[in-house]
Amino acid sequence: MAEILDGKKIAGDMRALIRGETQALALRGVRPGLAVILVGEDPASVSYVSAKEKALAEAGMFSLDRRLPESAREDELVRLVEECNADPRIDGILVQLPLPKHIDEQRVLLRVDPSKDADGFHPFNLGKLMLGQDAFYPCTPYGILKMLACAGVRARGKHVVIVGRSATVGKPLANLLLNRGEGADATVTVCHSATADLAFHTRQADILIAAAGRAGLITPPMVKPGAVVIDVGVNRIPDVSKKKGFRLQGDTDFEGLLPVAAKISPVPGGVGPMTIAMLLHNTLKAAKARAERENQKETGV
């Protein structure tokens, strides 16, 4: 029976360390701050933003909550991002995605100061990631690497198969795993909607990461016995027995994979909490850089 990877527990341990570092930084007069920008009232986005703001408060970080209506113009959002860029209290900026269809996401994300890119989606940071350089890494891929490391899973020399090629998960995760160093050095295959015979590829995986956004896509015959399975999918399935009328399901047949996989992450309670933990990590990292700059100004170094 597979070991269930408790993302909530792993993330909780990380958040405790982050809270301690945040308190130490506050003693130096620097309180990490994150601007959270939400456009519209998409229920999933509102839920995610609420969870992130709660985590910020628990960590002792400053949170600037800025919300715009669904009808907001693209220029309004760009101006708001630029205000946050100029705000000395703000170390990180999170623009909650997806944005309404009339807004060009890439134009907005390009206006975020790369040094405040807490989500790790700016091309500057993605480019440094691809080159194997230190940067702000996208939170979900970075959280997956941390989850594997905390679970004692070494990617070095392993065949990792990623199902999904999104710019937010699949592509940056593939690059992180290909890079040299701790938690990486893997051989990576990326599958997608045009992949012929998906099961042929998934059955070869030592580590299988499902990030396609299709509920129950990965079934037991598609998984090599003893593989590690990370489920990134968060799909809302109608369920009249639930108060909200839906239940969350990942991209895998979780129950069916329990007798097959060696380790598996659940949905919910797996990758989701890790994503929030890495958002706090990136915000703290940006605040440390601010503290260092302020110290250099004071000392004249």
- Residues found in the chain: 301
What's the count of helices (H) and strands (E) in the chain, helices before strands?
A: 10, 11
Spatial CB neighbours of 208, under 8 Å, sequence gap ≥ 6: 160, 161, 163, 202, 218, 223, 224, 227, 228, 229, 230
Among 253, 135, 134, 132, residue whose Cα is nearest residue 202: 253
CA distance 261 to 259: 6
Largest CA distance in the chain: 64
Spatial CB neighbours of 167, under 8 Å, sequence gap ≥ 6: 121, 126
Spatial CB neighbours of 207, under 8 Å, sequence gap ≥ 6: 148, 153, 155, 158, 159, 160, 161, 186, 227, 228, 229, 230
Please pick, among 91, 116, 117, 119, the residue that the annotation labels catalytic.
119
Please pick, among 96, 158, 206, 251, the residue that the annotation labels catalytic.
96
Residue 119 a catalytic site member:
yes
CA distance 129 to 110: 16
Tokens read off for 14: 């990380």
* Chain centroid offset of residue 28 CA: 29
Residue 52 a catalytic site member:
yes
Active site residues: 52, 96, 119
